[in-house]
Amino acid sequence: MSQLKNVEARILQCLQNKFLARYVSLPNQNKIWTVTVSPEQKDRTPLVMVHGFGGGVGLWILNMDSLSARRTLHTFDLLGFGRSSRPTFPRDPEGAEDEFVASIETWRETMGIPTMILLGHSLGGFLATSYSIKYPERVKHLILVDPWGFPLRPTDPSEIRAPPTWVKAVASVLGRSNPLAVLRVAGPWGPGLVQRFRPDFKRKFADFFEDDTISEYIYHCNAQNPSGETAFKAMMESFGWARRPMLERIHLIRKDVPITMIYGANTWIDTSTGKKVKMQRPDSYVRDMEIEGASHHVYADQPHIFNAVVEEICNSVD
């Protein structure tokens, strides 16, 4: 954990705006590692950003300053990931999902955030949606960035979009263990393994880091005992599919909660989901859009465009 702390400190020192990084203790003794940028901006609805599988607060470094120019931004490591507590999650998909959602709500309560613009990427998008079903009065606008776990698994294999090679490599290991077991077994070679499987991450963050800072960060986020990833494994049937697909439930979000879905034009996630969400919510605001030149990690592939889009959504709220 101390290595993760050190590498994260290197990332956060790139921030220009005032920020506060600390543990937020929940009543059940769990701790949520939280970074708040521009805490002094109190006039507007805060933006809360939820990272994806295997991620953490540091991966938002290309977005934090820009998106906190006129409002407070909160980001946190999901329970079971990054520097947050790593409890034992329920083994069933519904129980695991509920535990994540309950931790987000308890975190919000403890932070004293009455309402928020809620943004989630990938697994974070799935959980932000689940949260919005349960606590719609807290969400002024739901922003889903390349969200995982929406489509139903097609029965016809020809309809399945081929995931990238690294996803297949992880999935082949999955059958036997947790998704990131390979990294933990790799030990000191782990950061090199991240770099080998995901050389694109180094390129994405090259404006900030010429070295392996980001590969090291991803490695140390995931080199600890598996907790959130065990929960994720319980929630999925194979890497691309959720056991409880969100398309079957998105209509349960209160009608007055606006939703914007942002996809990378080159993502391996099924982008037709946006159109299907519109069909499920005919009387509600649903906007879907694709960002050219971006894949799954839209926020890092095209940070300037992504930040401009998110800022426009935030400004539509207040």
Alpha-carbon torsion (229, 230, 234, 237), positive or negative:
positive
Selection from 141-155, 188-202, 297-311 with the highest mean pLDDT:
297-311
Counting the structural domains of the chain, the total is: 1
Q: Which structural domain range is residue 60 located in?
A: 1-317
pLDDT number for residue 233: 87
**Per-residue pLDDT tens digits for 119-159:** 999 999 999 999 999 999 999 999 999 999 999 887 766 66
For 231-258, what is the mean pLDDT?
91
What percent of the chain is predicted at pLDDT more than 70?
A: 85
Average pLDDT of the chain is 88
- Rounded to an integer, what distance in angstroms lies between the CA atom of residue 161 and that of residue 269? 8
The two structure tokens encoding residue 189: 């070679």
pTM: 0.89
pLDDT number for residue 140: 98
Q: CA 182: distance to chain centroid?
A: 21
203 CB contacts (<8 Å, ≥6 apart)?
Answer: none
pLDDT number for residue 141: 98
3-state secondary structure of 316: helix
pLDDT number for residue 73: 98
- Rounded to an integer, what distance in angstroms lies between the CA atom of residue 175 and that of residue 213? 30
pLDDT number for residue 174: 46
**Per-residue pLDDT tens digits for 287-297:** 999 999 999 99
Please report, for the domain that includes residue 25, its CATH number: 3.40.50.1820
**Per-residue pLDDT tens digits for 40-60:** 999 999 999 999 988 899 999
pLDDT higher than 60, residue 175: no
pLDDT number for residue 176: 47
pLDDT higher than 60, residue 315: yes
How does residue 238 score in pLDDT terms, banded at 50, 70 and 90?
A: confident
